Amino acid sequence: MSCYDLPGLLPIDQALERMLDQLTPVEQVEDLAITAAVGRITAEPVRARVNLPVFDNSAMDGYGLRHQDAATGKPLPVQARILAGQSLNTPLQPGHCVRIMTGAPLPVGCDTVVMQEHAQDSDQGVAFDPLPEPGANVRLNGTDLKQGDVVLPAGHRIRPIDVALLISVGLVDVTVHRRVRIAVFASGDELQAAGTTLAPGQIYDSNRPGLHALLDRLGVEVLDLGVIPDEPQALRQAFSTANETSDLVISSGGVSVGEADFTRDILAEEGDIEFWKLAIKPGKPLAFGRLSKAWFVGLPGNPVSTLVTFHLIAVPAIRRLMGMTHRPLAQLAAISQDALHKSPGRMDFQRGHWAVKDGTVQVRCTGSGQGSHQLSSLTDANCYIALEQERGPVLAGEAVTLWLFDDVLA
Ligand code: AMP
Ligand code: MG
């Protein structure tokens, strides 16, 4: 059902639920070398090819022994010396010890390692004081991971810190979803490229480069279609190109109810569109739906609204297409140091900066103001101050809930 005609405003959680219900991850996958797969999303669970540790080995530079042969202060003759990368073909002889270094394999029969700081060398051999517990300083085969264990689930974004793990369990490449292709454009007759001289009434198109940079950070392929004038035929052409070349089209501007706002009508012509008046501030008008081949998210044009709705609504959609599971932003309870303007009816995502002061989480409002055109409120912030839909004004000292910025905005 289209909610174009629904009375009232749609809460953000319902909008997200409807959107995520419809979207499915891109189906094509590819095998990439592990270092080339950083930032990509696993398409299936990744399993260990070998045990970790691969063999029983020493956790210390010291002496390996059979614990039942040892006693505090009793010297044991040294049978052999084993460095990392070497291995001893013969078992540990009864009543002997081996000199062994960190990472070297334990010989058969050796079950304990004594650190060299607790060893005393003499003509009779090496004596140990104190003697540790049986099994001390030994890293046993398979105690971290076993062959076949899932090391990364499907839908996981591969991070630099995952690389070492994947390599250590014997993997060479990993199966990931193909990159999602996203077309982006801005619409508005007033919009000019950075670096041009502005005529009266013109402004710089800041939304599109801003969105482009955010999309790059998400690791998608970006098709930048530039600025489209407020003309139905030009918009039709932009949607048609975007539909042919991308999985998702993101636009800024023109989704409101002004006389030059054609986006919604053209979308309704070309596709199956839900238009939402969201119960959030900033960012009330938003279009979501499907063209014949690509999905579509139409963001409002006011710069703060564009970026906030991109973060709160478009990013979950993009992550779903990428094959990731939806992770809501982390929340934190805080005390507001400022009085905050708020009227009941919409959920506010005011921009704030939180810090721990005197042992409590405190938040201040950012920017010269919280208007949907005041970008400094966003660039100075590290969280949203998420004020509930029915809440009224907030007094300084009242408790508020923060939604913390994640790596998308960081
Ligand atoms: P609209 O959503 O098209 O009604 O635009 C709302 C406000 O955002 C207007 O003040 C526009 O000039 C401004 N705006 C729209 N698109 C952009 C853009 N790409 N960059 C900067 N400001 C924009
Ligand atoms: Mg406009």
Within 13 A of 211's CA, how many CA atoms are on the CB side?
Answer: 37
Q: Domain end: 266, 300, 322, which one? A: 322
My answer on whether 314 and 223 are in the same domain is yes
My answer on whether 225 and 162 are in the same domain is no
Using DSSP, state whether 204 is helix, strand or coil: strand
The CATH code of the domain that includes 370 is: 2.40.340.10
My answer on whether 187 and 245 are in the same domain is yes
Residue range(s) defining the domain that contains residue 162: 29-52+151-177
Nearest to 75 by CA among 5, 124, 36: 124
**Confidence at residue 367, expressed as pLDDT on a 0 to 100 scale:** 84
Domain annotation covers residue 215? yes
CB under 8 Å to 4, separation ≥6 — which residues? Answer: 268, 273, 274, 275
My answer on whether 48 and 104 are in the same domain is no
Query: Ligand 1: which of 189, 196, 204, 207 to mutate, judged by most atoms within 8 Å of the beta carbon?
Result: 207
Q: Give bridge partners of residue 227 from the DSSP assignment.
A: 186
d(CA 254, CA 258): 8
My answer on whether 93 and 210 are in the same domain is no
My answer on whether 209 and 265 are in the same domain is yes
pLDDT per residue over 184-222, tens digit each? Answer: 999 999 999 999 999 999 999 999 999 999 999 999 999
| Percentages of the chain per state (helix, strand, coil), in multiples of 5 | 20, 30, 45
**Confidence at residue 7, expressed as pLDDT on a 0 to 100 scale:** 57
Report the nearest-CA residue for atom 7 of ligand 1: 302
Q: Would you place residue 97 in the very low, low, confident or very high pLDDT band (cuts 50, 70, 90)? A: very high
The CATH code of the domain that includes 67 is: 2.170.190.11
Query: Is the separation of the CB atoms in 39 and 163 below 8 Å?
Result: no
Number of domains in the chain: 4
pLDDT per residue over 67-76, tens digit each? Answer: 999 999 999 9
**Is the predicted pLDDT of residue 2 greater than 50, yes or no?**
no
My answer on whether 173 and 292 are in the same domain is no
Q: Give bridge partners of residue 274 from the DSSP assignment.
A: 288
Could you tell me the distance, in angstroms and rounded to a whole number, from the CA of residue 372 to the centre of ligand 1? 10
Domain annotation covers residue 144? no
Domain annotation covers residue 206? yes
Q: Would you place residue 1 in the very low, low, confident or very high pLDDT band (cuts 50, 70, 90)? A: very low
Q: Give bridge partners of residue 125 from the DSSP assignment.
A: 122
What number does the ligand 1 atom closest to the CA of 190 have? 12
Q: Domain end: 322, 355, 378, which one? A: 322
**For the residues 9-31, what does the mean pLDDT come to?**
96
My answer on whether 201 and 169 are in the same domain is no
My answer on whether 279 and 254 are in the same domain is yes
Query: Is the separation of the CB atoms in 10 and 308 below 8 Å?
Result: no
**For the residues 339-355, what does the mean pLDDT come to?**
97
Q: Would you place residue 260 in the very low, low, confident or very high pLDDT band (cuts 50, 70, 90)? A: confident
Domain annotation covers residue 146? no
Binding-site residues, ligand 1, Cβ < 6 A: 186, 188, 190-191, 203, 205-208, 252-254, 256, 258, 261, 300-303
My answer on whether 229 and 317 are in the same domain is yes
Residues within 5 A (CB) of ion ligand 2: 188, 253-254
Domain annotation covers residue 349? yes
**For the residues 112-118, what does the mean pLDDT come to?**
98
My answer on whether 122 and 163 are in the same domain is no
My answer on whether 204 and 247 are in the same domain is yes
Instruction: Among 15-19, 262-266, 368-372, name the most confident range.
Output: 15-19
**Confidence at residue 259, expressed as pLDDT on a 0 to 100 scale:** 83
**For the residues 15-20, what does the mean pLDDT come to?**
95
| pTM of the entire predicted model | 0.91
**Confidence at residue 78, expressed as pLDDT on a 0 to 100 scale:** 98
The CATH code of the domain that includes 35 is: 3.90.105.10
**Is the predicted pLDDT of residue 4 greater than 50, yes or no?**
no
